Every structure is written in structure tokens, then in C-alpha cells.
Amino acid sequence: MKESELYIVKDGTLKLLDKPASGFGKTVIHWQDGKPITVEVNYTNKI
């Protein structure tokens, strides 16, 4: 595994999640019936 990465296990499979390209932002995981179903990645640009 890489450092400073976000992983999730779904149905026994390890998946690497995307991170905000700008380096600033948030990742929201949406769950349904105890399983992750979607991932929302938002980014922020510093000015």
C-alpha cells in the first residue's frame, strides 16, 4: 500500500479511492445496507 492514500474494502476487494487532484478537498463515502455504494470527491483551490 502507498502512504497517504485512502482505501476501502468492498465485497472482499481492496480499492484505492481517488483523492482531490488539487491536494485540498474532501472524500465522502455513501453507504447503503452496510456497504459503500458511491464516493464523492470534492476539491478546493487555494488562492
C-alpha to C-alpha distances, 20 to 9, 23, 36, 40, 47, nearest whole angstrom: 20, 5, 19, 10, 16
Residue type, 33: D
At residue 37, the pLDDT reads: 92
At residue 33, the pLDDT reads: 94
Contacts of 5 (CB under 8 A, 6+ apart): 16, 17, 19
At residue 32, the pLDDT reads: 95
pTM exceeds 0.75: no
3-state class (DSSP) for residue 47: coil
At residue 3, the pLDDT reads: 76
Q: What is the pLDDT of residues 1-47, one digit of tens each?
A: 767 888 999 889 999 988 887 788 889 999 999 989 999 988 888 88
Residue type, 32: Q
